[in-house]
Structure 1
Amino acid sequence: MSENKKEKGNRQFFSYFKYMIFILIFVEILDTYTTNNLNVVVSDISSEFFPSLTENAAISFFQIFVAIATVGMYFVFLNQYFADKMGRKFLLVFTVFGMGLASLLINFATNIITYTIFLFLLYFFFNSDIWVIYINEESPSDKRAFYTNFVLIGGVIGALLIPVFHDIIINWRGMTYFAILLGLPLSIIIFFTFKETSKYLEIKEDNSLLTQKPKMLKENIKKIFKSSRRKEFIIILIISLIIGLNNLFILVGEDFLSDSFTKEDVDTVVWVMGIASIIGYFITGVTADRIGRRPLCILYSILFPISILIIVLGVNFSEGALTMVMIGAGLANLSYWGLRILISIMALEIIPTQSRGTGTGLKTLASSVGITVGLIFSSIITFSQGLAVSFTIFSLLFIVVVFLVLIFLKETKGVDLSKIE
């Protein structure tokens, strides 16, 4: 009888797990779309809000206002703390609803001030990546990278939809419609159908863990930095900062490309970047659980600066410029997002369960600081030298990442999340 109950329970869990993966793919579609949809209309937004400035001056000032908006990402740290205090499900519903609401508000922005305020709110919601915690706490230890990247591959649909909507929608505000229509109803579906993660429920049900569970944010942070792998976590924070600095290409790359190519050509490049993401996630998902996280981190860290150089040099070619840029942009997207998700997985695999949300928030905070600093410094460089110089300088920092991974990070493949202390 007990065997039958166990078998029935396993079947029910697997059915729910498949449903969870299916819904999380839509969450990632929304996340991917809101992360990138406004990036393909940067030149349109900057020209509308700064009509009297030269192109370099307009994009320089635009970067400053976007840098202000990125402060919203800093509060993701607080969101992740609530994931430890109130549960993973609460935060997932909260952030999905928020992405839809913030997109609606951006649609009504009439000047750079209101745009910055509403973009601040969008950054507050979309950068939490709470779905990654869901996947990692529910997946078998030998399949965490596979299922994470499986969801990411599905989420690339969001990136592929961007050039489609960009082609058929005249005004840049129309790029927010899809996020509005998906985000609000999706949050309701998750609220009524999702369960809390099993790992989080173990903490709630285990009295010994409840007595140890940090009740204050300060204590939660202390627990992370007293863990046996605190040095590795500090290195992950440094790498996250460097990754954030290089988000510059994702945020304003469209403006750089629009100087040399038509709107149709830029949309083609975005398509290639989306396809490259699918290939990258597939490679990462298949190989990260086999050969480990470290080798891929090193590979992507070497590949990214090379791809940026291909783009910067390729736009100046008299023949084959678009082909060169497509190759470079595809490799840049593949390596950037590949490294970013690997670092997210490794962070989860070295942080104790009780503090996993807070630790993920710290990592996101480090990346967010990098994004803000990168935009501020780039605005200064762009004003006099142009975006190409900014892209090149920041991309070379990935050489530092190679040495950090080689010297300080241990392999985390196959780690039992329940036994991390």
Structure 2
Amino acid sequence: MKYIHEVDDLMHELIEKMQRYLDELAILKVQHAYQHIKTTTRNQRNEKGELYLEKKILALSILVDLQLDEATLTATLEPDASLQKQIQTITDLIDQLSKSPSPHPALLNQLLDTRSDTTAYLILFAHQLVNPEPQAIESYYLPMARQLNANYFVSEFEEYCFAHANPDVYAKLTQQYDEEITLQQHDIQQLEQLLGPALVRIPTRMNEIYYAVTNTISKIYYVKIPYQSQEIPLTNYIFQIAEHLEKPIAFFFDIYQSVLHPQGYLWLGQGHDETHLRRYVLLQDRHHNTYRLFLMSPNERHHYNLGQHQPENIPSDALTIYDLEGHVTYLPAEATILDYAFALDPDIGYHMYAFTLNHQYLRLEDIFKQEKGALLTLHQGDRVQVYHDLATPTAKMEWFKWVHTTKAQNALISYFQSKLKE
């Protein structure tokens, strides 16, 4: 990042993540700390020309992804005097140890004495992931993370050490991982196509109701590479059955034998979920993705308010677009991200300034400046998130070229008509 506005964009993204697990007051405290450090550091840069503020925010983003508390997040931006002293003590010890050809055991023991505030270590760990020092990570930060049972950082540090020592092997393993994820996504789409409209994906939030087995680590040989948070190896679905079907599992077994098994799917088992409310079957595909299909009638599903309700009369070529929590929006085949924003809410459309498309972060200003409007086009199954700021309207006349739904077009017409009257 070269400019402050890019850091601001990342902070906006982090605030949206915080809103998923922190209350409003806690978020305001983090925002206040950010604004204060932004004011005090201004455009200060390190010897590499990198913004000082950028490194703080990148470290903060790691801790936000771990859903740490407001006190830790605020301290990452602005540690108080006591915490700053602890951080300085740890870094001074590491400097002493790294400069000594044969470090005194007492120094090493002192470093690994983790009775100090854990927050200091977590902040240092996050900064090491942002600005890694290979020797320090292997010799000091990794042992400290193990001592603290900070498993996320242990995994990240181990992976970094392996990558640093074996770059060629690591590159090949990473490529294999990417190919594995591509296969996984393809297989999930294949199952959804095979079972058609009767299959409804349960959004991520339903994991609070249905206990979902999640494994966030992909073990490829001896390297641990984390999955992205949206990727859940055990995918939950509802398979709709007819009302009063006496033997739903036997009924589905017929479908399995005739449709799924010939395609390479394996029946792992059947049973009830942990609350004994639902019948389910477990399937596995040839790439070891596991699926749990809850068998229920439409009335049961609606009674418990489960899953996404698919509107009737959806065109066969309609796009199914997911947000980061698995919520579905249906749009015409030619729709763009602008159509999606207005479909959510006109105010979101008027004030949208950026979006993520399949994990890629894009700013509208950059897209239009570089005349890359094609990047706005949506495709079947895209996973998107839009970012907006109600204090700053961003709608422009050139957007008319890139909206195709009646709702978006009418919203823009109303918006610019109101502007002319002002």
Taking structure 2 as the reference length, what is the TM-score of the superposition? 0.26
Larger relative CO (CA 8 A, sep 6+): 1 or 2? Answer: 1
**Structure with the bigger percentage of strand:** 2
Taking structure 1 as the reference length, what is the TM-score of the superposition? 0.26
